[in-house]
Structure 1
Amino acid sequence: MSEDARQREQAAAGLEQLSSLVRAQSWRNEGTPSLPPTQAAVLRMLAGSDEGLRARQIADRLGVSAASLSDSLKAMEAKEWIARSPDPDDKRASVIRLKRSGRALATRLNHPARGMVSLLQGLDTDDVGALLRVTQLLVGQAQQQGLATGLRTCMGCEFFKPFGSGDAARPHYCGFIRAAFGDAELRTDCADQSPADDELLAANRERFRLRLPP
């Protein structure tokens, strides 16, 4: 095995271990019910969307089938964490929103002392920025491989201009807020994201992968 392949194998093993750790913790958070990972992920996702989401949107972002998600949504609805309402834009679909109890639970799940957030407390800003940069690249790979769609990252946004500011400290530029920013301010789930078309996404992906500004 080449050194490059060995490094990638170790990186993959580390990510799998962290993922397993967080999944295990999601079943036994103090002060919260035992939650399967999918239900916890849906609660967090809906907490960031005041207007609600369709089941298809949730399934696409989680990278699961609609049938697989359906059982989780039914269980959450029975616990009165979520509610469905008719979609005004599509009579065949419904919009899913958090009810008060579901929002309170999501708030507890998103507490800094819980889940993955607790593991990041010991990282400095540069390390967080490096992690956010790698996360953007990994999400991009997942989307290229058809594992997930609809994820609201900076790299997938039409407003994002990687290395577009001319400022070494804050190399990127957001056309929506009209401001430069650095890696530590990259977003993996931005409510203001507007999906880039395929041509712009491919160009942004190649430019973002550069180690230094062009």
Structure 2
Amino acid sequence: MDRSARAAGIAAAILRLARAAEAGERAAVQAAGFTPAQAAALRFAAKTRPDVATPGHLARVLGVRHATAVGIVNPLVDRGLIERRPHPFDRRQSVLALTPAGREAWARLERWSSGLEAALETLGPGELDAFEAAIAKVVAEQVRAGRLVVSAPCAGCVHFRPGAHPGSGRPHDCALIGRALGEAEAAMECPEHTPA
């Protein structure tokens, strides 16, 4: 079989896995009273560094227009799960944050599993390493093509300067935004992550 046919077969398998995971997620989040997009917004507010957890970045992560992202968030605000807070550095923007009730809702959703993790755990160490490297390469190509936004922690980002402020409570630096970061912030996801 030629490379093109193999690639098409693998792409079809990935799509089937994605559909199965999405169907399982849809059932789990609907049972909890959310849409999949609302669950994604809760995850975004829970996992994204507070200074970049803006509705605009949520729109980028979800691959939707800004107005659509606002439409996803508004019912969560109305339910008291997400709140809009003033942006810490830019008065023209707001950031999204979970309320205590939102943290509880996210904790319940986070326990849901698609079964993919268990399936991946059946791979041997070498297989898992090769699979991880191959998926990372495919994801990177999708990011470069502008088809995918990947949020990730600061480590490994071209803008991250670890230990730039030794002895400080905020020892790291993000060159993109020109701000010092604490350990907890640097461990959170950022939609502006650019692999080094």
Could you tell me the TM-score, scaled by structure 2's length? Answer: 0.69
Q: 1:13 Cα deviation (Å)?
A: 0.8
Gaps in structure 2 of 5+ consecutive residues: 164-185
Gaps in structure 1 of 5+ consecutive residues: 161-174, 178-188, 205-214
Aligned to 1:18: 17
Aligned to 1:191: 188
2:92 alignment partner, SS class:
strand
Letter in 1 for 2:4: A
Could you tell me whether the CA contact under 8 Å between 1:136 and 1:154 is conserved in 2? no
Within 5 Å, give how 1:57-136 maps onto structure 2: 57-111=57-111, 114-115=113-114, 116-136=116-136
Could you tell me whether the CA contact under 8 Å between 2:81 and 2:98 is conserved in 1? yes
Distance change in 2, residues 1:138/1:66 (3 Å): farther
Q: Which moved more, 1:57-66 or 1:122-131?
A: 122-131
Taking the aligned partners of 1:154 and 1:8, their CA distance within structure 2 comes to 32
**Alpha-carbon deviations, 1:61-88, whole Å to 9, x = none?**
2332222222211122222221111113
1:105 alignment partner, SS class:
helix
Q: 1:9 Cα deviation (Å)?
A: 0.9
Quick one: higher RCO (CA 8 Å, sep 6+), 1 or 2? 2
Letter in 1 for 2:22: R
Within 5 Å, give how 1:172-183 maps onto structure 2: 176=162
Taking the aligned partners of 2:10 and 2:153, their CA distance within structure 1 comes to 22
Taking the aligned partners of 2:130 and 2:108, their CA distance within structure 1 comes to 27
Could you tell me the TM-score, scaled by structure 1's length? Answer: 0.64
Could you tell me whether the CA contact under 8 Å between 2:61 and 2:150 is conserved in 1? yes
Letter in 2 for 1:110: E
Q: 1:134 Cα deviation (Å)?
A: 2.7
- Aligned positions, number: 171
Aligned to 1:138: 138
1:8 alignment partner, SS class:
helix
2:50 alignment partner, SS class:
coil
Could you tell me whether the CA contact under 8 Å between 1:159 and 1:176 is conserved in 2? no
Could you tell me whether the CA contact under 8 Å between 1:32 and 1:108 is conserved in 2? no
Q: Percent identity?
A: 22
Distance change in 2, residues 1:147/1:65 (3 Å): farther
Letter in 1 for 2:44: M
1:89 alignment partner, SS class:
coil
1:7 equivalent in alignment to 2:6 = yes
Q: How well do the aligned residues superpose, as a CA RMSD in angstroms?
A: 3.4
2:93 alignment partner, SS class:
strand
Could you tell me whether the CA contact under 8 Å between 1:82 and 1:98 is conserved in 2? yes
1:27 alignment partner, SS class:
helix
1:120 alignment partner, SS class:
helix
Distance change in 2, residues 1:29/1:138 (3 Å): same
Aligned to 1:40: 39
Letter in 2 for 1:191: M
Taking the aligned partners of 1:195 and 1:61, their CA distance within structure 2 comes to 12
Higher helix share: 2
Taking the aligned partners of 2:86 and 2:29, their CA distance within structure 1 comes to 35
